[in-house]
Structure 1
Amino acid sequence: MNAIKIDTPLEYSIAVTEFLSDNPNANCVIIASATGVKQNYYQNFSKFLSKNNYSVFTFDYGGIGDSKLQPLSKFSTTASNWAQNDFESVVKYVKNKTPNSKLFIITHSIGGQLIGLVPSNNLFDGVIMVASQSGSWIHWKGFDRLKMQFLWYAIIPSLTKIFNYLPSSHFTRMEDLPKGMAIEWAKWCKKPNYHFDCIENAKEHYDKINCSIKSYSIDNDFYATVSAIDWIASKFKKSEVSRIHLKAEEFGVKDIGHFGFFRSQFKDTIWPIFLEDLKRFQSQ
């Protein structure tokens, strides 16, 4: 395990952790975190993959974890920057380091939304999307829909105005978020077509991805409904997309939820499923 910092065009650095395989012919995996989730959450999963002949790279988006280099009230970035600057810089770093390796992406939540906006996404050789979804409130029903609308229309605008960042750690499992990121994210989530209604040429950016994609959902995931996951999966028009819905009881537990996939308790059940996906990508 090797922790480094890489420079980016926006002149802030991104913290990257390398889990390099002992196999000199190992292919590479980049893990794109969920919103406000530190890269170390994926550490045990990354070690699992590295022991199975993949070199893994995790990173913190700007303002999160080890990429938080100053108080968030004084730091400026956006959700688009997380894709076009942060994620893109990691892709370029990995491809420069291992130009002859295949590059696979594993996304969690927002990571699967951002891949379509990464300028070098045509370099991806396979993608596993885990609970990656649209954030638009239209994919929730009843009282849950009202809670999502209250978040996007009231909580985020009010708190970011007061604190100059989003103190999300006080009411969610997420780390605090940079103001610009939270405001742009909320803007996307107010739109029926999410960031496709906000970002010019979003469709063309998504169409650059031309590889196999596996998209996973799970029961009882408040943050990623089946409808929301189906929607984002349908936007990769040039890719062969497989949708897989898992049930917690298949793995001997009552609940897995939005954050459970990468917990070590599933190293013998869910993690091997992802590993087999990577092996199939590799053989294509």
Structure 2
Amino acid sequence: MSATEENLTILAAVDSFPLASTLFTPTKTPSSTPPPPSIQINSATGVPRAFYVSFARYLATTHSCPVLLYDYRGIGDSLTGSTPEHARALPLASIQKEWATYDQPAITMFLKDRFPDRAVVIVGHSVGAHIAPLNPAKDSVSRYLFVAPNNAHWRFHPDLKGAISTYLFPAIVAVGTRVGRSPQGLFRANAIGLCEDIPLGVARDWSYWTRFREYCTVEPHIKEVYDRFLADGDNTPNAEEHRTLAIGFTDDAFCGSREAYDAWLRLMPAAKVPLWYLDPKAELGEFGVEAVAHMGFFRKAMKEALWEPLVPFLVDGRFGERVGRGVQGEFRVKAKL
């Protein structure tokens, strides 16, 4: 099966900031009832949407899922607004406000409007997972796959250098706020090998949250939303249809152990998110995969090892055999922070 690829501009909620997006649409409508869901991919911090193209094409061409990629404001092709007000406000854009509650819901509602007969599933990568519970349009979302959704507290780094760098991150951001901004007024994250340049507000959120084990829920309004996230649903191990699943890897350079993942999942106690935690060398070697880390899930080489086993969950909320084995007994939401 083939799919069309259409570059779009979608206006963010509230302030209509133009978001560069790419929609992958299957050329044939499947006969299944209900049809496969449409999928929204929330990127990691400072990662352009082009990074996710292989995964999007796979879902659209092989499993008939429309997939929408987008660049948050200040990232990739979403670098300039359409008004002077947009340009002035861009450096101050934050994770918790503009990315989570302006940009993200606009993508959700676009999919809901374009494909009203299909459920919406969010695949959130890293910060793309962290913002998912804050989505004002989350009532239109049926399921969530969280990829590498670690708590970024500095103590969870696997090595001293990473821990020290993360601990000093707020100071680095403070200096970068005053000197060395990009022409758009962004924080030069690329200059320190972190990611693409990002809005100063994003850098401030990220660096501030890393100081706390509570991570983003150190903000009272975020904690309130996280506490209620999926409180009305059944996501227990015996549920016939699961609403959430997280996946993480032992070789993630941002995580010294699975505790970094558990520490984020515990922030949403009502959701009871199961974690499929894998050792790539031990569990994926038969597929020719020895490393995944924080970014590798979306590489084309992961098709057989990781993408295919997750299709049943993405399409209808079922855990296939490998995923089901991997998440057995993996609910650790009662542990203390």
- TM-score w.r.t. length of structure 2: 0.77
Aligned partner of 1:30 in structure 2 is 40
**What runs of 5+ residues in structure 2 fail to find an aligned partner?**
30-34, 234-241, 320-337
Structure having greater relative contact order (Cα 8 Å, sep ≥ 6)? 1
Counterparts of residues 140-151 of structure 1 (less than 5 Å): 140=157, 143=160, 144-150=162-168
Counterparts of residues 47-126 of structure 1 (less than 5 Å): 47-51=57-61, 52-69=63-80, 75-76=90-91, 77-80=93-96, 81-126=98-143
Q: Distance in 2 between matches of 1:72 and 1:173?
A: 24
Report the number of matched residues. 282
| Residues 1:244 and 2:272 are matched in the alignment | no
The CA deviation at 1:272 is 0.6
Give the SS at the match of 2:40: strand
Distance change (3 Å), C-alpha of 1:199 and 1:17: farther
Give the SS at the match of 2:132: helix
The CA deviation at 1:282 is 7.0
**Percent of aligned pairs with the same amino acid:** 22
- TM-score w.r.t. length of structure 1: 0.91
Q: Tell whether the 8 Å contact from 2:95 to 2:201 is kept in structure 1 after alignment.
A: yes
Q: CA offsets, 1:16-67, max 9 Å, x none?
A: 2111123433321111110000111000110000021211111111010111
| Residues 1:223 and 2:254 are matched in the alignment | yes
Q: Tell whether the 8 Å contact from 2:36 to 2:315 is kept in structure 1 after alignment.
A: no
Q: Which of the two has higher C-alpha Rg?
A: 2
The CA deviation at 1:206 is 5.2
Q: CA offsets, 1:161-206, max 9 Å, x none?
A: 2124221112225110011111122122222311211141533355
Aligned partner of 1:274 in structure 2 is 310
Aligned partner of 1:186 in structure 2 is 207
Q: Distance in 2 between matches of 1:32 and 1:15?
A: 13
Distance change (3 Å), C-alpha of 1:182 and 1:201: closer
Q: Tell whether the 8 Å contact from 2:214 to 2:267 is kept in structure 1 after alignment.
A: no
The CA deviation at 1:223 is 2.2
Amino acid at match of 1:195: C
